[in-house]
Amino acid sequence: MRRVFKSVIFLATSALGGFLGAKAYMAFVGHGSKRGFDHYEGPAVVTGVGDAPGNHGFIAAGVAGGELEALADKWQSYHATSVGLEYVPGMDRDKLAADAKVIHQRGMNVILLPPGAANGKAWSAENPYRKSLADVGADAEAAGVEMLCISWLNGPPAGDYWREQAKALRLVYSGKLIMAADAADVQRIDCPEAAEIFGAIGPIEIPRRLPGAPARVTLNDVRVEWSCTLTQLESYAKKYDKKLALLHMSVPLAVSSQVADPNKAVAPGKNPTLQSMMYEALLLETKGRAKTTDVLLFDWGTGDKGSGDAPNLAAGVMGKLSPMWAAAVTKPAAMVSDKARP
């Protein structure tokens, strides 16, 4: 209770602390002319600690065979429950089935993603795959893929087009469909019947402090920022009785706690401490949201620690990730003595 109270006070006293409240921030740094987060309504409230999203894990990009097996073993050790597989150029039904088998043998689900999803270059106004969605769906069905991401949008979806695509897909694919878009445009989806899950594609902006405010922030400060953003995305999903997927959830190494000063054209420098804190706050804040946020996929970066925008390259993050994703231990019922029995 104390944590929630401090969080609400933090936002309520934003004028003193130099922090932009949810509505003010989102109107100030929204996605250009798009109507994104600027219609947030209500305060940010830190959720209670509970289950992590049911499908949490990493995106595998362009790996196969022994390399995929080694990564799958590693991800399993971090308590991942799902793996995002890219349907890369040259992949066919047999290859997808073989990769899916590697994941399934380790007790994890497969989420099929369009090519380029891991590096944020899968943007397309229509079908993001190299073959028809119906053909991709048939391959996914044969491989036992649990979820299929059908879009990777950075603009408002064409409702009639996606309704037709979903209709054709459901003739050949029995799993769940994800309609994914950037965080602004996922809130413009007007064809909710096309998918069971709305996917918000990262990196996702969260509130930051006004220029000139103290740069120092605490873990709880950042967690409140994530809460503000996630609550809004969940609110839109709930409006249509949908689940939410957080995809491509990278946090940039060059990150700042402050909104850029419009009078200073200086890009934020590398800040590994804040990057690590933002990852930790996201992990904390998504626990307890499993009822709505059902998918959380991080990129799996390649390179050395501290060299990129992925949790395995951010110092100290992986050590925090594993315990946060571990299944909660169910305590046995208390023993009742014979005298106390009715």
Q: What's the pLDDT at 263?
A: 64
What the chain holds in terms of domains, given with CATH numbers, is 2-253+267-316 (3.20.20.80)
pTM (predicted TM-score) = 0.81
Measuring CA to CA, which residue among 278, 283, 299 is closest to residue 71?
299
**pLDDT computed for residue 103 by the predictor:** 96
pLDDT tens digits in sequence order for the chain, 342 residues long: 333 333 332 232 232 233 333 333 222 222 222 323 333 333 333 344 568 889 999 998 777 678 999 999 999 999 999 999 999 988 999 999 999 999 999 999 999 999 998 877 789 999 999 999 999 999 999 999 999 999 999 999 999 999 999 999 999 999 999 999 999 999 999 999 999 999 999 999 888 777 777 778 899 989 999 999 999 999 999 999 999 999 999 899 988 877 766 666 666 788 899 999 999 999 999 998 999 999 999 999 888 888 899 999 998 899 998 889 987 544 444 444 444 444
